[in-house]
Amino acid sequence: MSSSSNSSNVTLEKIVSLCKRRGFVFQSAEIYSGLNGVYDFGPLGAQLKQNIKNIWTKDMRTGQEDVIFMDGAILGAQAVWQASGHAENFSDPLVDCQNCNKRFRANDINLEKPCPSCGIKKWTDVRQFKLMFETNLGAVSDSTNIAYLRPETAQTIFINFKNILTSSRVKIPFGIAQIGKAFRNEITPKQFLFRMREFEQMELEFFCKEENATNFFETWINKRMNFYKEIGLDMSKIRTRDHESDELAHYSNSCTDIEYNFPFGWKELEGIAYRTNFDLTQHTKFSGKDLAVYDDEKKESYIPHVIECSVGVDRLFLTILFDAYTEDSIDGETRTSLRLHPKIAPITAAILPLSKKLSENAIKIYHDLKQKDVRVQFDESGSIGKRYRRQDEIGTPACFTFDFDSVDDKQVTVRDRDTLKQERISIDQIENYIKNILNK
Ligand code: ATP
């Protein structure tokens, strides 16, 4: 039936359109012509995002290394961002075209060439543009009550390092992980969820002794690559790239990006950085608080070194959609499906009565599965073919069809999203079937 299947013809436009059509992602404030670089997640998108966060959390929690979690504030004290170096250094080079007034990140364009928008070459000088969003706390706006929306979650981990160390039973080496919102006033938000102004990060700061840092750096690169393999990404589209020394951030000794081959080129998906003990040293200096740890063996204090793994939830969301998007042809018609890993798919199972006359019986299965916490949908409208297409397009791995025989033989037909194979199973085996595909 199915003639070919590939995801090579995926484009950004197709993903944006599917996301809107099926309720994954909407431009924020769309009814007011939209807020640039800001997105809202609809029902399926919110669930997909939650599944991504759950799978990352589980991976961190169950791995061999000790990792504990925290949830820090979004509003950050000015002193924190002065100590971290962000207040001074966290900026992007910016240029304007003096002819059409379009603004660009200087890194994204060749200044020897004319403006890609109007074709005239009339650039301003390159200036530094601060990426942090600034606000004021309380009623009076002056320089004494400035706060910043955090541009990364990492600093809330560093400023709580001592609190966590003394209140939890952890010993170096260990990691503190966090999932949370971050904000950057990107000059040119673009490529949908790839570069946003409000986004979510999943970050791990792993604390260790200096002599073990290089080893842990390698360990974490391998672990993170393995994670992408396990969630089913096409590993021929994933690679690591070491930063050149002139690319390194102000805090970093070495950095390796995990890149994905997007339709718009190889781009960073996750950054893994050896941050040395820069952050804890800075916070020690600026706060005057001792953030050192005592080494029982060497009988001396030291400031731990840090390996960071940082990935955007939204950027991974986009990557997963690109990777899963498949078009194949069934009986001469193009079918679009999302070949999502069942753990990540927003809906795991659909219950489809063949006719509305069967709905009353079929809906009992739906309610039963819902109660058991299965992500399940019930759909009785339209032809069965149309309903299959709808489920394929949102990535549902298993559709259970309840037909006229089901009433007597207590069986349903289950259809596999990817192989299109159909088999008859007993209704009381549905839950097991779902468990099995989730544990694949
Ligand atoms: P880029 O070079 O793409 O701007 P970066 O090197 O500034 O990224 P980091 O500061 O290393 O990014 O942030 C860690 C991760 O957070 C990135 O790998 C990416 O997945 C995510 N991220 C960063 N900025 C954004 C953004 N504006 N929108 C969505 N995700 C982002």
Looking at the domain assignment, is residue 248 inside a domain?
Answer: yes
Starting from the edge strand earliest in sequence, which strands make up the sheet with 146-149, in order? 75-77, 146-149, 134-136
Q: Do both 191 and 142 map to the same domain?
A: yes
Looking at the domain assignment, is residue 24 inside a domain?
Answer: yes
pLDDT digits (tens, 9 = 90+) for 305-331: 999 999 999 999 999 999 999 999 988
| Whether the Cβ atoms of residue 151 and residue 131 lie closer than 8 Å to each other | yes
pLDDT of residue 275: 96
Looking at the domain assignment, is residue 335 inside a domain?
Answer: no
Enumerate the H helices of 199-253 as residue ranges.
210-230
Looking at the domain assignment, is residue 327 inside a domain?
Answer: no
| Whether the Cβ atoms of residue 151 and residue 90 lie closer than 8 Å to each other | yes
Looking at the domain assignment, is residue 82 inside a domain?
Answer: no
pLDDT of residue 148: 97
Provide the pLDDT confidence category of residue 1 given band limits of 50, 70 and 90. Answer: very low
Q: φ, ψ for residue 394 (rounded to 5)?
A: -100, 5
Centre of ligand 1 to C-alpha 310, Å, is 8
Question: Is the pLDDT reported for residue 437 higher than 50?
Answer: yes
Helix (H) or strand (E) holding 87: helix 86-89
Q: Do both 67 and 173 map to the same domain?
A: yes
Q: Do both 302 and 257 map to the same domain?
A: yes
> Among 281, 303, 321, where does a domain finish?
321
Query: Which residue among 195, 252, 313 has the greatest number of ligand 1 atoms within 8 angstroms of its CB, and so is best to mutate?
Result: 195
Helix (H) or strand (E) holding 411: strand 411-416
Q: Do both 372 and 225 map to the same domain?
A: no
pLDDT digits (tens, 9 = 90+) for 164-190: 999 998 999 999 999 999 999 999 888
Looking at the domain assignment, is residue 54 inside a domain?
Answer: yes
Provide the pLDDT confidence category of residue 257 given band limits of 50, 70 and 90. Answer: very high
Enumerate the H helices of 150-261 as residue ranges.
154-159, 161-167, 210-230
Question: Is the pLDDT reported for residue 67 higher than 80?
Answer: yes
- The amino acid sitting at 234 is D
Q: Do both 49 and 172 map to the same domain?
A: yes
Centre of ligand 1 to C-alpha 271, Å, is 8
CATH code: domain of residue 61 = 3.30.930.10
Take atom 22 of ligand 1 and give the residue whose Cα is closest. 312
pLDDT of residue 131: 94
Q: In 3D, which of 349, 315, 365 has the Cα closest to residue 49?
A: 315
Q: Cα 284 to the chain's mean position, in Å?
A: 32
Centre of ligand 1 to C-alpha 348, Å, is 30
Q: Do both 62 and 185 map to the same domain?
A: yes
Q: Do both 302 and 365 map to the same domain?
A: no
pLDDT of residue 180: 98
pLDDT digits (tens, 9 = 90+) for 354-376: 999 999 999 999 999 999 999 99
* Mean pLDDT (whole number) for 383-403: 97
Q: Do both 183 and 244 map to the same domain?
A: yes
Tokens of 61: 């929690």
Centre of ligand 1 to C-alpha 151, Å, is 10
Q: Do both 308 and 224 map to the same domain?
A: yes
Take atom 12 of ligand 1 and give the residue whose Cα is closest. 271
Quote the pTM value. 0.94
pLDDT digits (tens, 9 = 90+) for 331-341: 889 999 999 99
In the chain, % of residues over pLDDT 90 = 89
Across all residues in the chain, what is the average pLDDT?
95
Q: Do both 362 and 268 map to the same domain?
A: no
Centre of ligand 1 to C-alpha 196, Å, is 9
Structurally, the chain folds into a number of domains equal to 2
Q: In 3D, which of 341, 318, 319, 329 has the Cα closest to residue 395?
A: 341
3-state secondary structure of 103: strand
Q: Do both 364 and 255 map to the same domain?
A: no
What are the residues whose beta carbons fall under 8 Å from the beta carbon of 174, sequence distance 6 or more? 65, 66, 67, 68, 206, 207
CA distance 271 to 279: 17
Looking at the domain assignment, is residue 94 inside a domain?
Answer: no
pLDDT of residue 8: 66
pLDDT digits (tens, 9 = 90+) for 98-144: 999 998 999 888 999 999 999 999 999 999 999 999 999 988 878 88
Take atom 3 of ligand 1 and give the residue whose Cα is closest. 268
Expressed as residue numbers, the domain containing 53 is 12-75+135-321
Q: In 3D, which of 280, 296, 202, 236 has the Cα closest to residue 8?
A: 236
Take atom 2 of ligand 1 and give the residue whose Cα is closest. 268
* Mean pLDDT (whole number) for 198-216: 97
Question: Is the pLDDT reported for residue 5 higher than 70?
Answer: no
- Ligand 1 proximal residues by C-beta, below 6 Å: 152, 184, 186, 195-196, 199, 201, 268-271, 310-312, 314-315
pLDDT of residue 2: 45
Nearest atom in ligand 1 to the alpha carbon of residue 255 is 11
> Among 286, 321, 356, where does a domain finish?
321
CA distance 126 to 92: 10
- The amino acid sitting at 432 is N
Report the interhelical angle of 313-324 vs 12-21 (nearest 10°): 100
pLDDT of residue 3: 44
Looking at the domain assignment, is residue 117 inside a domain?
Answer: no
Q: φ, ψ for residue 143 (rounded to 5)?
A: -70, -10
> Among 282, 305, 321, where does a domain finish?
321
Nearest atom in ligand 1 to the alpha carbon of residue 189 is 27
CATH code: domain of residue 403 = 3.40.50.800
pLDDT digits (tens, 9 = 90+) for 289-311: 999 999 999 999 999 999 999 99
Question: Is the pLDDT reported for residue 254 higher than 60?
Answer: yes
Q: Do both 382 and 312 map to the same domain?
A: no
Residue predicted with more confidence, 3 or 226: 226
